[in-house]
Structure 1
Amino acid sequence: MMSLGPLAFATPWVLLALAVLPVLIWLLRVVPPAPKRLSFPAIRLLYDLKPRDETSATTPWWLILLRVLLAALVILALAHPLLNPRAQLVGGGPMVLVIDDGWAAGHDWQARQEAADELLAQADRTNRPVILLTTAPNRDGAPGTLNRLRAEEARSQVQALLPKPWPADRQALADWLESQTLPSSAESFWLSDGLDGPGVAALATRLQRLGALTVLEPEGGSLPRLAFPPESGVDGLTATVARAPGIGPSSLWLRAVAADGRILAREQVDFPVGEVAAQKRIVLPTELRNEIARLEIENDSTAGSVALIDERWRRRPVGLVSETSFQASQPLLSELHYLDQALSPFSEVRRGRIEALLERDLAVIVLPDSGALAGPEREALQRWVRNGGVLLRFAGPILSSAVEEGGEQSLVPVPLRQGGRLLGGALSWSQPARLAPFSAASPFHGLAIPADVTVQRQVLAQPSLDLGERTWAALEDGTPLVTAGAEGEGRLVLVHTTASPDWTNLPLSGLFVQMLQRVVALSQGVQGARGDQPLPPVETLDGFGRLTAPSAATQALPPGLEEPRFGPALPPGFYGSDQSRVAVNLAPAIAAVTPMVQLPSGIARLGYERGEEVDLRPFLFTGAMILLLLDLLVSLLLRGLLPMRRARGMAAILALLAGGGLAQPAQAQSDDRFALAASLNTVLAYVRTGDSTVDEASREGLTGLSRALERRTAVEPGEPMGVDIETDELAFFPLLYWPVATSQGGLSPAAIGRVNSYLRTGGTIVFDTRDQGEVGFGGGGPGLQRLQQIAHGLDIPQLEPVPPEHVLTKTFYLMDSFPGRFTGGTVWVERPGGRGNDEVSSVIVGSHDWAAAWAVDQAGRYRYPVVPGGEAQREWAYRFGVNLVMYALTGNYKADQVHVPSILERLGQ
């Protein structure tokens, strides 16, 4: 193949025939045109004429140009010209296909698979064997095999490939290839994710030694983005997102999503010119903020575009026991001042007396230095702790005096010793003592201890056999500083010194804030530093950023692992237990999105987003045929063999041929394929919104519903199809599922006309706003508001809630509600008497996210949880889907059955 920019010739040697054109021009000039023949009987008049030399008539220049152009078109057509040609295979060795399938591949996985399919189709046509390799580590540890596969076998493996939620390791693949025996000659294609990293140059060099190497990569603006774990603040979370450098001003949408899939917040993040990182503050009420399970970049489907949220980011209300007004005359001497300053950045602090605090929803109650509590207060506080609360106490002069007098041994995790501060020996010191490193079993493990933090005085614990197990922090001489113990379902924590600088300078350090944060996190059972036990996987992210059940190869998270090395044994996700989850995110390990810049010379670099390959032969052959007919017409005219009237008719025929020949064959073939796929079987269709997450959920949902229809009814639907509302014909589909995405744009006038025509001719559209979980804040969710904008201009009939006796309630199953992923809400149908389509509603509107309830993956597993009814609710969602399809296919036959008794009675008469 010879390439000239976007134009290429599959058989370029044919172009040598263009050298013959000058010879053709000379022949046309030498050879005169055929003489014009006239029938004239008076030939005898010529007998007496004297002969003389005459110059033969020459062919007109415009006719020569016409015939040369005809020959040139034929030669160019035989050279098989291609516009926007696909990469062609060269040589005769195998094709080595390397695919980046790490975390970044999920962003454009469809383009990657399409490119691989095109390359494998060429290998199939040329009978070339294929060696398939991947760059992300596999669960078996090997990057692939050097087995030579048939193109069809390789295609099956490529279709089964999915992106991994961990980074690609090009260096490992390059090292592995160095240790293998490779073919002496091969052509390599590297379908890259476009990111730079270790091993890029090494892998490219190793592949280039085999032969020609072509690297396909996404454009800079199409690279994935990163969502980092947020920072907690007083009134919200500060999220950070990152993009590739070298991009102009741009923006993205960041969503805060609950565990059940509800979108709690959606914020636009703007990148200034030249900036690779941007921040956005998400402010929500405490109740909603504590429901956030993940932050995700909208329309990005990678493990790096998701930041999982665990209890470390929850804002837990903390009660601060205050017997007097908080605004003391000397706040710097008050324990309450230091506690409030330390707790406010990450908790909502509520102050008051014990009885008032116990009436509120609190995670932790902090009790500064105090003596014996009154009986009712002590009993109420004990009940609260036993029911799951965390009580954090601080020692001081008051508690010390109470212990000295032989009282106040309640609501403390360990027995306290009288007069312990002044004992000699190991428990006394002549200078302040420093803190010892935190043990691995302590929730404070991993915190850095400043060298200048010291303790001057403390309340001592009574020695016991289990004192070591109850000690969370100690001084260098082994004296317990923080002790804790379980009390029913709750916990008692005692700091054996003051919360003010009276006995220690700990409250003046950042360590004090970190320790309080760890204690508050324990209020919901989260191990602040993951403890000293490995944490088993609960849910892990897949390559598209979706939470799935962990595989058998996933191992437990080692204790104290601050910088995990992600791979098959340790993917990002949640670890621990259902009650105590620890989020392990990918973005901090990636740090930055750096595009692939430098590659060894001699490597061809192409993009995934290329124009469709156009074969120019039909156009050239059509043009040559038209010129041939035109030449014939002109020749007949010059020889007088064609009357002018017939010539005008021939010219009209040539014009028609030109119009038909220059029509776009590729578009016609594409339309034909779409029509065949939509009409050969009953097909459920969904509207493509442009949001990859929503579109994938729609496809998986209609796939699950199609399988249910096949099992339960006589309907045998084909594979669901996504339709572009702007360009695709809708008449093939009896039912169109339209999920409303907030990012979906408005409709063009052509699309509005297409939809209105579909509704008028018997089609049914199911609008699903998918926001039932978000209603209640302002009278409607964002999906409903977006639907109102999209529907502007559509011929939507008058709607009403589904009546109790509507056919939709009894088409196949008897139903009185229509749940999906969410329950509740109202389903709207067309009011009777609107259209003449057998009284079948042309529009059905709901907010239940039905596709998510029906959705299944390739293995038939359900993709999304349904709330609040679980699997029983999912079964009812499937039944509604069956009723919906049967309603669209059969119309009101169930309603007609109400007349059967009267008809039978008349027949009997």
Structure 2
Amino acid sequence: MTGLSTFFLAFGFLQPWLLGWLAGATIPILIHLWARQRYRQIPWAAIEFLLAALKANRRRLLLEEWLLLALRVLIVVVLALAAARPFVGQAYIPGEEPEAVHRIVLLDASFSMQASREGRSCFDRAQEELHRLVNLCRSRDRLTLGVMTDTIRWLTPEPLPARGGIFPQLNELQPTDSRPDLLAVLRQVATRLREVRKHYPSLGAQEVWIFSDLQATTWEPREELAETLLREALASILEEASIRMVDVGLADGQNVAITEVQLNRWPVLMGDTVEFTATIKNFGEIHRPNLQGIVRLDGHVVSKQILTISPNSEALLRFSHRFLTPGEHIVEVSVEAHGDSLRADDRRWISVPVRTALKVLCIDGRPSLVPLQGAAGYLTVALNPGGPGGPTSPIYVDRRPVTALGEVDLDSYDCLILCDLPELSPEEASRIRRFVRSGKGLILFLGPQVVPAAYNTVLGQGEKPEEVLLPARLTQPVHHDPQYRLDPLGYSHPIVAAFRDFERAGLVTTPVESYWAFEDLKTLGGRIVLALGNGSPLMVEKHFGRGRVVLVGTSADPSWTLLPKWPSFVPLVHETVRYSTAGRFFRRNVRLGECFEGLLPAEWAGTELQIWTPQQQRELIRVEGDSEASQWRFCPREFAGVYRVEGPGGQSELYVANRDPNESDLTKINPERWKNHLGNPGKLVIDSSVEALIRLPLIPPAGIHEIASNLLYALVMLLMAESFLSFYLSRHSTRPPR
């Protein structure tokens, strides 16, 4: 840096609102004036003699009074100044040419920046203010430009000259649909500041300029830990630079958004009538009557409804549709809200792949050629009553003996059911793990042949709960405690939810004579679906990878329970198969920042998939894999909408990435409260004008120096001086009583 001849001291306050205490300096003056009020004079010869004697000392007495008053006023002034936390720094002298200033400029391109009024969005205003900043910079200054999406996308690899260096990039920028990860953003900024300081030591002061709408859901942490981490991240930046935040947000933005679209069951099979529920929220303070909700299936309108939403409230749009055509389908829900500040979130999508049928591989631990015999006889008929040559069923069952488990191609099935298998080999267990992790379903019906140690060892291994396939460990069979009633636990689980209004279906009155006892449910992450009358769990499940595992503690044949002969058995096993296979279909729909992924056969390793984005841009991703399986992964981060994934053979699947609904809330932070709560107010300033911010004194790398402690020392000295002077005057005063 150059010498101090290039600088002058800049002075300011970190808590300027406390300067109001300076008004207290009038208190000693008012007391002094009150004490000097005129009294009624009564002539008295003795007093007249004394007053005549004191006229020679009048000037000295007045000086003592004014000196004591000045000390008392100064005490109040110094106290108020110390409370306001004054600081001194170095600012550049106008007209002289100091060292180059490095400014990191961040442009918020998150979804909420698309909010607009009279055709002018927050992002448009941010670009205008950013251009204004560039024009106000000196030719020697350097800028580093970054765009805030979910993290920072740096547009300049190194600091560039402010004049003409980044204008081309500014004109090409567009807002995205993402939501910033504020903590990650601030950490990236701190890292870049340190790198610039290391590699460009000739640069002087550093500043961070953020052009944002200051949306509360982004900038205000809701948890104590997040607040602590945010404060630490800001402090890390303020060690290297000051922060200038340009507020480009709407003061009172009104917004209606579709925050969620759900369907009542996965997977969807041909002929199913599916119920959809869309949640529409009014984030504003205006009553919204006569909103029109529109539902489109593959681009065609299938439903219209009129809605009314109160301020800061939600409304539900429900509709149903029967799918008669298999294949890839997209359901789009939109709402027409006039006067909306943010139009893009007025629609939302959901991908609905429709299958002709689910293919189930059923391994029978006690195979038999006699109908309704063996461990899986009743189960096979319940899932597909017509059999291989019978009427079309939504579930196709391939019943095989135990020896087939290591021979068949599991990838061609959607669900694997094991009925009373004594044990599994490590190789078989490895294949099953890979099968379930890819998004398929596994259902385990136990029975008299099961060896618990084998199950716990082969299927229950794993250092972490998410690595263990079993939702619970087996202990021992219970034969002498027959149960004549099942507890659906309030029908809260999706498997048994269909029985909520049909108690006569017989589910709760099912007799169970023998069952396996379970343990470690909470440890392994298991969830109880159905319990016995004595509270023991009978059916438990857990998620494993993208798939699901359901463990049933009794048999699928009448050897241990009459459940296979009960009327509730057929709907129960159908719902169980659907639930266990839902994972791979459910993951077709994610939020921006989450990932699409899939497992493929081993021979696909090394090939490329084509991803067509909502902007009809093509991206290629490589399929990674080994000799056993391959997988792909794609994470949409910036744009919401429908993505099409195409394989080498031309087959395609539709995926959807929707916006984070938190971005639809346009409520802003309180700038003063926010910066005083989280940051250093002397080095963090928020304003809506670039001109006002750039006129602030530059703070060099050494930072600012607070002088509040010096003022406190001075305050102590003044108090001591006032006490001494008061004592001295009271002892030596010759003033007569008034």
The alignment's TM-score, normalised by the length of structure 2, stands at 0.32
The alignment's TM-score, normalised by the length of structure 1, stands at 0.27
Greater strand proportion: 2
**Which structure has more RCO (C-alpha within 8 Å, separation ≥ 6)?**
2
